[in-house]
Amino acid sequence: MFFKKKEKNKIFDHELKKTRESFFYKIRNIFLKKSKIDINVIDHIEEILLSADIGTETTIKIISNLEKRIQKEKYKNTQDIYNILKKEIENIFIDIQNVGLEKKITKNNKKPYVILIVGVNGVGKTTTIGKLAFLLKKKGFHVVIGAADTFRAAAIDQLEIWANKAGVPLIKQHMHADPASVAYDTLQSAKSKKKDVVLIDTAGRLQNRISLMEELSKINRVMKKIISESPHETILILDATTGQNAFEQVRQFTSFVQISSIILTKIEGTAKGGVGIGIMDQFKIPIQYLGIGEKIQDLKIFDGKKFVDYFFEYRSN
């Protein structure tokens, strides 16, 4: 029996449960009903991949590779196809180098390590910054946050609440202050106080794309006056529940910002967690963390192999 029961790997039980139940059980039902490969099996796999929001381009790639291997290696039973399908999805993660954020911070000789946080309004950006600050502080890093989203008063107030929860200082100005000025003050303070990490929040009004491009460009120029290599990292926050819209957000941001990695939020609330697979495949940008809830500790390091293993494992509930 190729659906092996697993009891120990519960790393994604909470955040990926809806996706696994939707994806895995549909896949399992196909293979339980079929002992030999036919065109209907491949068609059904394609439908399931698309329903998990893996994306059209990545789905076509996976299905094409499946069909080539079936034809070349003359596979006839569903057990082989099941294993190949898992391997094809795993391969998406292999070629994308994902050096852990904590390692990069540790290796940085010139403090602080500057992280620019971008993303549209409503994706959980403010919450995620608080969670990331808390996580890095727990790892022993000294963190400071810069409230450079001065477009919305609520953004500054909310960020201050999360900074207090995380127990890290916040550098802020008034609403409608120059975001680049906030970033400048934050880096200057962090450098003088020998902080390890700076997290800079930014506005998320992507509908006003030109203004946002100019704003981020100015923030980058000003920060380089303090630390020439900054930002060392630009992290894009995406909401997994938005499905295919998340792909469009990546396209928009990567057209004017060099994105280093992604944090995928609200993944516990959707059955379409496969969006992360498609994004990594199409844009070759690693997912760094998963946001899995509203609590400050609800940020988990992303592990591609365990992510795929969880989709394909069988556990009776």
Distance of CA 124 to the CA centre of its chain: 12
E strand or H helix that includes residue 167: none
**pLDDT one-digit tens code per residue, 62-87:** 999 888 887 777 666 677 778 888 88
pLDDT above 50 (res 1): no
Domain end marker among 64, 97, 130? 97
**How many angstroms separate the CA atoms of 198 and 223, rounded?**
11
- The answer on 133 and 256 residing in a single domain is yes
CA gap 265, 292 in Å, rounded? 6
Question: Does 232 have pLDDT greater than 60?
Answer: yes
C-alpha span between 161 and 172 (Å, rounded): 12
The span from the CA of 29 to the CA of 2, in Å, is 13
Q: Which of residues 78, 97, 116 is at a domain's end?
A: 97
pLDDT computed for residue 30 by the predictor? 74
Q: How confident is the model at residue 37 (pLDDT cuts 50, 70, 90)?
A: low
174 and 83 part of one domain: no
* CATH at residue 21: 1.20.120.140
CATH number of the domain encompassing residue 301: 3.40.50.300
Neighbours of 117 (CB within 10 A): 25
Mean pLDDT of the chain: 85
Q: Give pLDDT, residue 35.
A: 62
Q: What is the pLDDT of residue 316?
A: 46
pLDDT one-digit tens code per residue, 40-61: 778 888 988 888 888 899 999 9
Residues 256 and 305 occupy one common structural domain = yes
Residue listed under structure tokens 């399992």: 28
Residue 98's closest CA among 308, 307, 304?
304
Per-residue pLDDT band at 7 (split at 50, 70, 90): very low
Q: Are residues 25 and 149 in the same domain?
A: no
Pick the more confident residue, 111 or 94. Answer: 111
Query: Is the pLDDT score of 136 beyond 60?
Result: yes
Asked which of 97, 115, 139 is the last residue of a domain, the reply is 97
What is the distance between the alpha carbons of residues 1 and 313, in angstroms, rounded to a whole number? 12
- How many structural domains compose the chain? 2
Beta-carbon neighbour count of residue 106 at 10 Å? Answer: 13
4 within some domain: no
Residue 26 shares a structural domain with residue 86: yes
Same domain, 151 and 254: yes
Contacts of 21 (CB under 8 A, 6+ apart): 271
Domain that holds residue 37: 17-97
Average of per-residue pLDDT across 296-309? 86
